[in-house]
Structure 1
Amino acid sequence: MLTIDNLVKRFGRVTAVDGLNLKMKKGETLVMMGPSGCGKSTTIRMINRLVEPTGGSIHFAGQDITALDADGLRRIRKRIGFVFQHFNLIGRLSAWENVMLGLVMSGMPREEAGARAFESLTKVGLESQRDKKPGEMSGGQQQRVGIARALAYEPELMLWDEPTASLDPILVREVLVVMEELAKYRASTMLVVTHELSFALHVADRIVLMDKGKIVEAGLPSQVFVTPSSRIGQQYKELIEYQMNTSASTLAGKRIA
C-alpha cells in the first residue's frame, strides 16, 4: 500500500532524513519511534507533502506522491488522514462544525457532510459534545475532535504525528483508547509517530526505530523490545524493564504497608 524509497530531506546543511526505505501493507499498524530530532515527524509529514522531500519517492495506492501536481495532491490527501500534535481547531466553530468544514469545502453537500461528521464524532465517543466549542472542551476531547476530522474522510491511510505530545499525562489515555480501537478494527492502515511505549507494545504490528535520520531497526514488538539489535532498541528495552521493576516495587511496598 505504501512504499518509500531512498527518502531524503535536507534543511540547509542538516540532513533530517537520510535515505529512508519503508514498506507498509494494507491494514497494518506501524509505530515509528526514536529520540527527539531523529527525523520521525519529518518523515511522516513528507508522506502527504506537508514537508517537501529533497529526494526519493513515496508510492501510495499506485501513485508517486512526490510527482503529483497541486490538483493530484489535493485528491490524494483526501485518502490520507493526518492527526497533528496540536489540535488546529477553529475556536468559533463547534466540534461538529470543525469536523464537517473540510468536507463541505471539498464539495460534499452540507447534509451529507453533517451526517458524516456526526458519525465520526460517534467513533471517538464525542457525539454528546457535538455542539461544544474547543474552548469548552478538555485537551483530550479536542484531540479526539481532530481525530474525528481525519476519520470523516474515511481515509485508507492514517498518519499520526505524536498525537498525545500536547496533552497532560492524565488526558493521554483517552486518546490512546481511541487509537487502540481504530487499530483493532483495522478500518485503515496506520503509521504512528509516538513516544508512548504502552501503545507500541499493545497495538503495533511492527516497530520501526529511527536515529539520525535513518531506520536502525524494524520488527515485531516482541523482537525489537526483547532482543534488540540496535543501540536505540537496547535503550527502549532498558526503559521498559525499569518501568516494570518500578511498578513491581511500588505494588510490593503497598502490600507491605
Structure 2
Amino acid sequence: MLRIENLHKQFGDLAAVDGLNLQVGRGETVVMMGPSGCGKSTTIRTVNRLVEPDRGRIMFGDIDITKLNADELMAVRKKIGFVFQQFNLIHRLTALENVMLGLVMDGMPREIARAKAGAALIKVGLDKHFQHKPGEMSGGQQQRVGIARALAFEPELMLWDEPTASLDPILVREVLVVMEELAKYRASTMLVVTHELSFALHVADRIVLMNKGRVVEEGVPTQVFVKPQSSIGEQYKELIEYQMNTSALTLAGKRIA
C-alpha cells in the first residue's frame, strides 16, 4: 500500500527526516510515536506532499508520489484522507456543508455529495448535528467533522497528524473512539501520528518509534512496549508502568476510603 524509501527533509541546519524507511500494508493500522520534534509530523505530511521531501521515494501502490505533477498529485490526494491537528472548518457552513464542500468542488453532483457527506457524519456519530455550525459544537465534535470530511472521499489511506493534540483531555476520548472503530472495521489503511498511548496499545497493528528523524524501533505493541530494544522504547515502557502503578494506587486508595 505505502512504501517510504530513504526519505530526507532538511529545514535549515535541522535534518527533520533523515533517511527514513517505512512500509504500511493494506488494511494495517500503523502508529508513529516519539518525542516532540523527532520528525513524525514532517514524515506524514510528505506522504501527500503537504511538505515537499528533499529526496527519497514515496510509493503509493505503484505510484511514486514524489514524481507527480500538480494535476496528478491532486488526483492521488483524493485517495488519501488527512486529518489535521487543527479542525480547519469553515465557520459559516454547517457540518454537512463542510463535509460536502470538497466533494462538490471536485465536480460531484450536490445530491450525491450530500448523501456521501451525511453517511460520513453518521459514521463518526454526528447524525444529529448535520445543521450545526462549528461554533455550536464542541472541539471533539468539530474534529469528528474533520474526520468525516476525510472519510467522505472513501480514501484508501488515512493519515492522522496528532488529531487529538488541540483538544481538552475530556474531549480526547470521543475522537479516539471514532478512530478505534475505523481501525476495527478496517475502513481504510491508517498511518497515525499520536502521543495517545491507550490508542496505540489497543488499536495499532504495529508501532513505529522515531527519534531525530529516523525509525529507531518498530514492531507489535507487546514487543515494543514490553521488551523494547531502543532507549525511546524504554522510556515508553517506563511511562506505561508508571501509569499502571498510579492507577493501581488510586484504586487501592478508593477501596480503603
For residue 235 of structure 1, what is the aligned residue in structure 2? 235
The 5-angstrom pairing of residues 121-132 of structure 1 reads 121-132=121-132
Q: CA deviation at 1:40?
A: 0.1
For residue 250 of structure 1, what is the aligned residue in structure 2? 250
In 2, the alpha carbon distance for the partners of 1:121 and 1:231 equals: 41
Q: CA deviation at 1:13?
A: 1.7
Post-superposition Cα deviations, 1:209-254, rounded to whole Å, max 9, x if no partner, equal 0000000000000000000000000000000000000000000011
In 1, the alpha carbon distance for the partners of 2:23 and 2:253 equals: 46
1:221 equivalent to 2:224? Answer no
The number of residue pairs the alignment matches comes to: 257
Q: Which amino acid aligns with 2:179?
A: M
Q: CA deviation at 1:34?
A: 0.2
For residue 153 of structure 1, what is the aligned residue in structure 2? 153
Q: CA deviation at 1:187?
A: 1.0
Post-superposition Cα deviations, 1:48-81, rounded to whole Å, max 9, x if no partner, equal 0000000101000210000000000000000000
Q: Which amino acid aligns with 2:71?
A: D
For residue 9 of structure 1, what is the aligned residue in structure 2? 9
Post-superposition Cα deviations, 1:93-149, rounded to whole Å, max 9, x if no partner, equal 000000000000001011100000000000000011000000000000000000000
In 1, the alpha carbon distance for the partners of 2:185 and 2:75 equals: 25
Q: Which amino acid aligns with 1:37?
A: G
Q: Which amino acid aligns with 1:223?
A: Q
In 1, the alpha carbon distance for the partners of 2:30 and 2:86 equals: 21
1:111 equivalent to 2:111? Answer yes
In 2, the alpha carbon distance for the partners of 1:103 and 1:74 equals: 13
Q: Which amino acid aligns with 1:4?
A: I
Q: CA deviation at 1:14?
A: 1.2
CA-based RMSD:
0.4
In 1, the alpha carbon distance for the partners of 2:40 and 2:240 equals: 21
In 1, the alpha carbon distance for the partners of 2:81 and 2:27 equals: 14
Q: CA deviation at 1:12?
A: 1.6
Identity %: 77
Runs (4+) of structure 1 exceeding 6 A deviation are: none
Q: Structure 2-normalised TM-score?
A: 1.00
Q: CA deviation at 1:47?
A: 0.2
For residue 36 of structure 2, what is the aligned residue in structure 1? 36
In 1, the alpha carbon distance for the partners of 2:249 and 2:201 equals: 21
Q: Which amino acid aligns with 1:194?
A: T
3-state DSSP class of the match of 1:91? coil
For residue 93 of structure 2, what is the aligned residue in structure 1? 93
Q: Which amino acid aligns with 1:229?
A: Q
Q: Which amino acid aligns with 1:146?
A: G
In 2, the alpha carbon distance for the partners of 1:76 and 1:245 equals: 46
